[in-house]
A and B are shown apart, each in its own frame.
Chain A
Amino acid sequence: MDTTSFPAVWAVVGPGVAGAVFGVGWWFWVDAVVCSAAAVPFLHYLPGLFASFAALMFNCVKREDANYNYYSPYDDSEWRLKLWLFVSYVVSFVSLAGAVGFLVQDALTDTGPSAWTGVAGVLQSVFVLISGLMYWTCHSED
């Protein structure tokens, strides 16, 4: 194992750390659902699911393909990859916005889940997306 430079260490350790951060996000949500006095509707699960799906989406694109050295046998530029990355960005944004919306709703209303459920939802989306970004930055095909 090459420990002299940070990119080399990050390429080795990064996927494991990304998995741990992903686990942190989802276990926060498990904690919120388990410790909630009121039943959590299925709508509140969607931001976390969308964040996980978005992380999967932009990890389908290799980091080296999304730059200007992209070679395509169809004489196209890299617009398809960037369009896919843009769609995954939209899904990420929707999941974060939904989580924040549910947090505000849970904090304002007395019925339904408590504010901790909303906070855990936001933490879940943030940690899941961060784990996707970590995996994307350290996952480099040689």
Chain B
Amino acid sequence: VSLPHLRFAQLLVWFCSRFRRRLGSPIRVSGWRGIGRLGFRFEFGVTIGWLAGLAFMFSTSILLQILACALYNNWWPMLAALMYVLVPMPCLFFGGGSTQFLTSRDGGGWFNAAKFLTGASAMGSIAIPAILRHAGLIETGAMFIEFTSFFILVCTVMCFHRATLDEDW
């Protein structure tokens, strides 16, 4: 592994940490407000914390996606990013534009079709690195980095879904 790739990874990690710290700073500022704004402080803090965590997880997912290509100097794993374009399409077309259809059972046939197509599209993010590895085009380490990236992305979407539902309540 040559030095420019490590330097690039270090810069990206530093950028993510800076972004996280900068986004987290309003929590301390709001902590010094009066006691009457305790509820606002709590709600604001939870939202900012959720957003910071989600942003960090999403950045980590993109970082691993690029690392799987850069560490091995082999850009075949970028094909898995094509599936990230396909996965939101059923949500936007049939699910009403939000992730509410994932945990709904009363939406009827269109919500079920959206869930079916989401599952079918998400499977491609696992299948493409596995097929590239089976064909000998990428290394085993790159395949597992791709799997980790997809897993973190799924966790990000699930946390975003949970946060959105919490705000709805």
The residues of A with any CB-CB pair to B shorter than 8 Å are 1-2, 8, 11-12, 14-24, 26-27, 30-31, 34-35, 135, 138-139, 141-142
Contact A17 B119 (CB under 8 A): yes
Is B4's CB within 8 Å of the partner chain A? no
Contacting residues, chain B, for A30 (C-beta < 8 A): 127, 131
Contacting residues, chain A, for B115 (C-beta < 8 A): 14-16, 19
In the complex, 28 of the A-B residue pairs with CB atoms within 8 angstroms, ordered by the A residue number, are: A11-B105, A12-B104, A15-B113, A15-B115, A15-B119, A16-B102, A16-B115, A16-B116, A16-B118, A16-B119, A18-B116, A19-B117, A19-B122, A20-B119, A22-B116, A22-B120, A23-B122, A23-B123, A23-B127, A26-B120, A27-B124, A30-B131, A31-B127, A31-B130, A34-B131, A34-B134, A35-B131, A139-B112
- For the complex, give the distance between the alpha carbons of A11 and B121 in Å: 20
Interface SS of chain B: helix
Contacting residues, chain B, for A139 (C-beta < 8 A): 109, 112
B130's nearest neighbour on chain A, judged by CB, is A31
Contact A31 B131 (CB under 8 A): yes
Other A-B pairs beyond A2-B105, A23-B121, A138-B112, 19, CB < 8 Å: A15-B113, A15-B114, A16-B115, A19-B116, A19-B117, A19-B118, A19-B123, A21-B119, A22-B119, A23-B127, A27-B124, A27-B130, A27-B131, A34-B131, A34-B134, A35-B134, A139-B112, A141-B108, A142-B106
Cβ 8 A contact of B135, one of A26, A34, A142: A34
Interface range for B: 20 to 34
